[in-house]
Amino acid sequence: MVMLEQCRRRLGPGATFYCEHFHAEAGEHIALWGPSGCGKSTMLNLISGLLRLDSGRIEVDGVEIHDMSEGQLDQFRGERLGFVFQTFNLLAPFTALQNVMLAMRFSDTVPQKEWKSRATMLLERVGLDHRLHSKPNTMSVGEQQRVAIARALANKQRLIMADEPTGSLDPKNAKEIMALLLEVCTEEEVTMIMVTHDRALAERLPKQFDCVGLVTEGES
Amino acid sequence: MSLWHIAWSYLWNRKFTTCLTILSVALSVGLISSVLSLRQELEKRFAEEGQAFDLVVGPKGSPLQLVLGSVYFLDSAIGRTPLHVYEDLLKDDGFVEAAFPIGLGDTYGGFRIVGTTQGLLDHKWEGMSGDIRTPFALAEGKTFEAPYEAVVGAVAARKLGLVIGQEFESMHGSIEISEELREFDHADRPFVVVGILETSGTPFDRAIYCDIESIWDAHGAGHGEEHSDEGAEELDWSNSVSAILVQLHSPGQRFEYEGWINENTDAMAVVPIQVISDFFQDFLDPIKGLMMGVGYLVVVISALSILIGLYLSIMQRKRDLAIMRALGASSYEIFGAVIIEAFWVTTLGIAVGWLFGNAVTYLLGLILAQEYGLVITPFGLSSEEIRAFATVALVGLVAGILPAWQAYNGDVAHDLADRQ
């Protein structure tokens, strides 16, 4: 499902990201684990095409993305990748329903006539049937992250990239959100790559990838 | 969930600053709109009445003063013309269809008393839009048939509270006089109201009409007085007129006959529509140009406010734009959404500005109607206004390009990582 081969990316003066090999099978749930600055978020950005490789090869869902144009990458992200961020990253002017529909707006995966019904179904799935028309600033942090999970599944994505998904939540909410994330990804047979600095959280996923050493000081 | 909706949602999300930006555009558009519509409506009104007569004949002097004084009753007469000029015009069958003498000099309650003949009140002409204009149509009563019978314009009647059968005393000149000078009033020869005109929305509503013999009689014949309008020559009032309004057989004869009168008589002939056109071109157009210049300067300032407003907004929501990119939005869609925001602000600014400008024109129109009898009808949309608005829209869109370009070139990974 996801494969990185000898991927190199210069991050700035004296810092370089290098990953010799990474591999995730379809349906797998993998934690990219490591302390801050070790390169786990860079790896996530490379897999999603938000950062370009200097050299190497990345294949996602059978598609080599390192050679894609900007337009192709936009389309690729919209159709195949779902994001769950630490700070939820919902768009403030829009309701929960609209935030989920917005993801469908930027992809051709779901026909327009189904946007509303699918967004409603997803929000009901994450337990927010009573919050469809609420704006993010009126919702609790747990509810906002639930909307983000629903949004990440809006286009029937095959791969969810979760960047510290529980980092802004209290322990109770963190536990619930993590359980929900694993549950929906299992149900939908979605591959999940989760970035975390929390070893205990990483161990809740069946497979871990140790990111320590991905970023090195000096030219390599 | 179109880009239009997305752009609108972001504008709505920051209502206060959006309203301020729209207001700045509206102010500039309002200024432009009011200048254009006021100028256009004024010219239209003047042109309508300017078409009423092919020529105005009067004493030599200022053509503009002659026309403003005798056609629009906005200025004092420039002097007097011997009566035989009028009589000669009446005899000239080759050119003259009709001629109406105008005797000015007296007022009542600030409204001019116009001595003329019954023919003027029957005068009608084809307006600029092809309709037949009859500003002297009677609303009630009858036309004057004897000396000291008066037909009162609608505004004058309303303002002065004159009704049929009521008597009033005229006053020399057009300014209030002291008690000591009241002896010069024609208190012993009152006018009686016999008719009131329908409202026509023209300067004719603001005058009082009587037989010219009343004017002659009041100023000398049988009264022994000799006085004149401001700056007028001393002439025998019973053998002179202030001006003559002339209708020719054809408008095509205007310039030929104007030239003939100017070359072969002591009087001055002018084509009123030409005089008014020159007046607008020489006097009002530079003012219009200046006001338009100010308007466009404000447009530039408004464009800057659009640019700054959008730019700051883009800076504040770089993360939102990055999220959209992560969700699959293309750079072009992000660019388009920001340009649409500029479009919304500019379009709403133009719409509000147009309403504002025409509201100002409407209020100024009330004053013009009150003071000068010029009824103007705002809330139109001329081709000149459309061109000006298109320019404003273009400037607004150009102002949106820099912020849109900033959004287009955003570093998605960096902006997503920026946990502000």
Task: Give the per-residue pLDDT at B150.
Answer: 93
- Using a CB-CB distance cutoff of 8 angstroms, which residues of chain B are in contact with residue A70? 330-331
Query: Model confidence at B188, in pLDDT bands (50, 70, 90)?
Result: low
Q: Is A216 on the interface with B (CB under 8 A)?
A: no
Residue A102 to residue B412, Cβ atoms within 8 A: no
Report whether pLDDT(B224) > 50.
no
Task: Give the per-residue pLDDT at A17.
Answer: 86
How close is the nearest chain A Cα to the Cα of B31, in Å? 34
Q: What is the mean pLDDT of residues A82-102?
A: 89
- Residues of chain A with pLDDT > 90, as a percent, come to 16
Report whether pLDDT(B351) > 90.
yes
Residue of A nearest to B328 (CA): A78
How close is the nearest chain B Cα to the Cα of A77, in Å? 5
Least confident window among A12-16, A83-87, A154-158, B293-297: B293-297
Q: What is the pLDDT of residues B358-401, one digit of tens each?
A: 898 888 888 877 777 667 777 778 887 888 888 888 888 888 88
Task: Give the per-residue pLDDT at B225.
Answer: 45
Q: What is the pLDDT of residues A159-169, one digit of tens each?
A: 998 888 888 88
Tell me the β-bridge partners of A216: A16
Residue A105 to residue B9, Cβ atoms within 8 A: no
Task: Give the per-residue pLDDT at A220.
Answer: 46
Residue B1 to residue A98, Cβ atoms within 8 A: yes
Domains and CATH numbers, chain A: 26-41+69-208 (3.40.50.300)
Task: Give the per-residue pLDDT at A189.
Answer: 87
Q: What is the pLDDT of residues B121-171, one digit of tens each?
A: 888 887 777 778 888 899 999 999 988 899 999 989 988 999 999 998 887
Q: What is the pLDDT of residues B82-111, one digit of tens each?
A: 888 888 888 887 888 899 999 887 888 888
Indicate the average pLDDT of chain B: 82
Does B56 or A173 have the greater pLDDT score?
B56
HEC letters along chain B:
CCHHHHHHHHHHHCHHHHHHHHHHHHHHHHHHHHHHHHHHHHHHHHHHHHCCCCEEEECCCCHHHHHHHHCCCCCCCCCCEEHHHHHHHHHCCCCEEEEEEEEEEEEECCEEEEEECHHHHCCCEECCCCCEECCCCEEEECCCCCCCEEEECHHHHHHHCCCCCCEECCEECCCCCCHHHHHHCCCCCCEEEEEEECCCCCHHHHEEEEEHHHHHHHCCCCCCCCCCCCCCCCCCHHHEECEEEEEECCHHHHHHHHHHHHHHCCCEEECHHHHHHHHHHHHHHHHHHHHHHHHHHHHHHHHHHHHHHHHHHHHHCHHHHHHHHHCCCCHHHHHHHHHHHHHHHHHHHHHHHHHHHHHHHHHHHHHHHHHHCCCCCCCCCCHHHHHHHHHHHHHHHHHHHHHHHHHHCCCHHHHHHCCC
Domain boundaries along the sequence of chain B: 3-45+283-417, 55-270
Report whether pLDDT(A8) > 50.
yes
Does B183 or B65 have the greater pLDDT score?
B65
Q: Is B337 on the interface with A (CB under 8 A)?
A: no
Q: What is the mean pLDDT of residues B411-417?
A: 79
